Structures are given as structure tokens and as C-alpha cells.
Amino acid sequence: EKAGYEHFMLKEMYEQPKTVTDTISPRIRKNDIVIEELGMSDEDLLSVRKIHIVACGSAYHAGVTGKYVLEGLARIPVEVDLASEFRYRNPILEDGGMVVVISQSGETADTLAALRESKKRGFKVLGIVNVVGSSIAREADNVMYTWAGPEIAVATTKAYSAQLIALYLLALKLARVRHTVTEREFEGMLEDLGRLPDQIELLLNNKNRIQRFANRYIAAKDVFFIGRGIDYAISMEGSLKLKEISYIHSEAYAAGELKHGTISLIEEGTLVAAVSTQPSLYQKTISNMVEVKSRGAFVLAVTCEGNREIEKAADYVIYIPQTNPFFANSLAIIPLQLFSYYVAVGKGCDVDKPRNLAKSVTVE
Ligand code: F6R
């Protein structure tokens, strides 16, 4: 049931504040994070030397964000692989390695095969899964559920948001046990997590402004999403959302890499969405925005409140509320989801069931 929403995708985007709350709250005890499903003692957590994240599509994009957050907070090296690549590259798994597979459906063939391959080699696998009792949930050694509830729209929104949260919790737990963050930082981040649902709500309520903006790009041919670090991960997800439901060609690029070739595609009026949520990289991304703007691009910026300087290099700015930079993806993705949705609606696309796509990909 769409509960009065025009599409499941819109309904599911609006469920994100609740999804985020439901994924966080069962794992918070007083001022600590308890993830019983991990089945790991503090000693086990201390012995983790490397994390391998394996997934497909949007779940992979969540994993790329996870790499930045886990490395940044817990100082553990992380490798992220597309499941369809991991299986066939004879990956090097060594003692102290932990395999994490991420899947909404829990049925994705390549992800399931990567899980089986890891288990065959004697590694324990943690599944971050949405569908309870799915194949990946059954076969993983331990399962951390993303409590997003059923997701009907083919393009994932709320499950992706829940995957991000699961990864933040894992990173914070590891960071606390390994003392790579101070008590104060840890508590501050718990507070930031707790504020995310209201902040997401605020961004969702901005939908009319984004719809007006999206309507200007219904006829776009190509769109580019650029960002650095975590913002590159957000760009990948923003780009996938747009192309899968609106059929507009889009690409995500690490902002500093554009000038190594792709900038030749920028024409008068090409839309470039620049994501800039990491204060330490504000200036660097502004330089890249100036580069594309001077070649005729129309620059949409998604940045944090307070970064007024970006206005000199942007044609249109969407501000997100302040949060810890490690959690910014959870906010910046909301306007990008809304943008894709309204472009697709404006074009008359079948938003919930885009052509050629299935909700769960059970073929290799
Ligand atoms: C994009 C999308 C897909 C899935 C991918 C993995 O909106 O939904 O890219 O993220 O097919 O699916 P799961 O998470 O079910 O393994």
C-alpha cells in the first residue's frame, strides 16, 4: 500500500527518518553501542586487522562510504569490492580479516557467492541484510539487520540509508574498543547520530524546491556528480539513482579526476552536481567547481550550512544541516534522491519499476 503517496519510492524516502531510528535504537545502551548480533567479544574486535566489504549496486556504494568511516574512525584498513569482481579475483584473505557482505534483498547471486567463497576459505562472514530470513541472512555467520521494513520500489532509498547507519555503528563500536576516538568524541557522535532522523525529515520537507529545480533538467542528456572522499561515495549513489529511474546518462567522478579526461564532455549548460560535505576539502572542491563552471557547466552544490563561500562557484546551492562529517552521507543523499525522483516523475517514467531492472538480482 502506498499510503497516499504517488509512488512507493516517495513513500520509502519518507520512511527514512523512522528507518534510521529503528536501525540505531536497538543498538544503543546508555552511552554505549551494543551489537550483540556481531557475536564478537571486545577481544575479537581488537583482533580485526582488515575488513573486506563486498556488495553490489547501492549496497556497494554504502560500502564505499563504510570504508571511509571505518578507516577514519577505527583506523582499520578496509577493502571494498563489487561482489561480481571479488568472486573471480582470488582475493587475498589473511588472518585477522573480517568479511562483511551488504545486501537489501539478501538474495543477490554474486553477493551470496562471495559469502560462500569467504566461508569456504574459513572466514567468518557478517551480513548486513534487510530481508529477514533471506539466503544471505541464513548463510552468514552473523547478521546485523537493517530495520528498514519491506522495500518495494526497485530503486533503493531507505535500505541504503539503513546500511549507512549499520556501518557507522560498526565503525563506532570498533573505534571505542580500539580507543581510536576519545570518550568525548564518541559521545558527541552518538548525539549526532540521534539527530539524523529529524535532520532527514527537514530535508525531505524541502521537496517542493527540489522538484522545481528538477523540472529544469527533464531534457538533460548527461549529468555529472563530483565529490571527494565520502562525497565521491555519495556522488556514485546520486548518479545511480538518477540514471536508473530517469534514463538520463550520468556519471560520478572523484572531483580531482575530472580534468584527466572527462572534463572534455562538459558543454554549455551541462549539469554538474558537486557534493561537498567535508570541511577539510571545501577549498579543493570549489577549485573543481570553478573548472567546470568556466567551461559552461551549470553547477549545483550540495554542502553543509555555513559554507557560504561555495556560492561563488555554484549556480544553485542546497544546504544540509551540520553533522559529524563521517555521517554527512545520510543527509546529502536525501536531496539527490528527491532530485532523481522528480526528474523521473517529470519525464513520466515508471519510477517504481524502471525498465530492465529487477528488485533482486538472482542471476550472476
Ligand atoms: C539501486 C539498487 C541496486 C541494488 C543492488 C544490490 O537502487 O537497488 O543497485 O542496490 O542490486 O541489491 P541488494 O542490496 O538486494 O543485494
The residues, any chain, with a CB within 8 Å of residue 185's CB and separated by 6 or more, are: none
For 272, the enclosing helix (H) or strand (E) is: strand 271-276
Among protein residues, the one with the nearest Cα to ligand 1's atom 7 is 155
pLDDT at residue 339 above 90? yes
Nearest atom within ligand 1 for CA of residue 58: 10
The amino acid present at 31, given as its one-letter code, is N
Alpha-carbon gap, residue 184 to 161, rounded angstroms: 26
What is the number of the ligand 1 atom nearest to the C-alpha of 56?
Answer: 6
Average pLDDT, the chain: 96
Q: Helix, strand or coil for residue 168?
A: helix
Q: How far apart are CA 106 and CA 102, in angstroms?
A: 8
Q: Is the CB of residue 79 less than 8 Å from the CB of residue 49?
A: no
Q: What is the mean pLDDT of residues 63-90?
A: 97
* Span 263-287, average pLDDT: 97
Q: What is the pLDDT of residue 358?
A: 83
User: Could you tell me which of 87, 130, 95, 132 has the C-alpha nearest to residue 112?
Assistant: 87
Say if CB 32 and CB 181 are below 8 A apart.
no
User: Which residue, among 117, 125, 118, 157, has the nearest Cα to 143 in the 3D structure?
Assistant: 125
Q: Kindly report the number of other CB atoms within 10 A of residue 79's CB atom.
A: 16
Terminal alpha carbon distance of the chain: 31
Query: What pLDDT does 1 receive?
Result: 85
Lowest-confidence segment of 49-58, 122-131, 259-268, 324-333 by average pLDDT: 259-268
Residue entry with cell 512507493: 8
Distance 353 CA to ligand 1 centre (A): 13
362 band by pLDDT with thresholds 50, 70 and 90: confident
Would you call 74 helix, strand, or coil by DSSP? helix
Of 71, 121, 68, 112, nearest to 94 by C-alpha is: 121
Catalytic: 359?
A: yes
Task: Give the pLDDT band (50/70/90) at residue 322.
Answer: very high
The DSSP letter of residue 183 is H
What is the mean pLDDT of the segment spanning 137-153?
Answer: 97
Instruction: Say which DSSP state 27 is in.
Output: G
Ligand 1 centroid from CA 60, angstroms: 8
Select from 143, 156, 167 the residue to mutate for testing ligand 1; criterion: most ligand atoms less than 8 Å from CB.
156
* CA-proximal residue: ligand 1, atom 5 (nearest): 57
Confidence class for position 199, pLDDT limits 50, 70, 90: very high
pLDDT over 90 (residue 361): no
Rounded CA separation 76/66 (Å): 11
Q: What is the pLDDT of residues 88-112, one digit of tens each?
A: 999 999 999 999 999 999 999 999 9
Looking at residue 51, its pLDDT comes to: 98
Sheet holding 125-129, edge to edge: 78-82, 50-55, 97-103, 125-129, 142-145
Q: Taking the CA atoms of the chain, what radius of gyration do you get in angstroms?
A: 20
The pLDDT tens digits for 301-320 are 999 999 999 999 999 999 99
Q: What pLDDT shows up at residue 16?
A: 98
Average pLDDT over residues 21-43: 95
**What's the whole-model pTM score?**
0.97
Interatomic CA distance for residues 361 and 21, integer angstroms: 28
In angstroms, rounded to a whole number, what is the distance separating the alpha carbons of residues 14 and 3? 11
Q: What's the CA-to-centroid distance between 23 and ligand 1, angstroms?
A: 19
What's the CA gap between 146 and 163, in Å, rounded?
6
pLDDT score, position 357: 87
Does the pLDDT of residue 87 top 90, yes or no? no
Which of 119, 124, 284, 359 does the annotation list as catalytic? 359
Confidence of residue 363 (pLDDT cuts 50, 70, 90): confident
Q: What mean pLDDT comes out for the span 191-195?
A: 98
Instruction: Give the side-chain half-sphere CA count within 13 A for 142.
Output: 13
Distance from residue 13's CA to the centre of ligand 1 (Å): 15
Query: CB of 214 within 8 A of CB of 300?
Result: no
Region 266-287 average pLDDT? 97
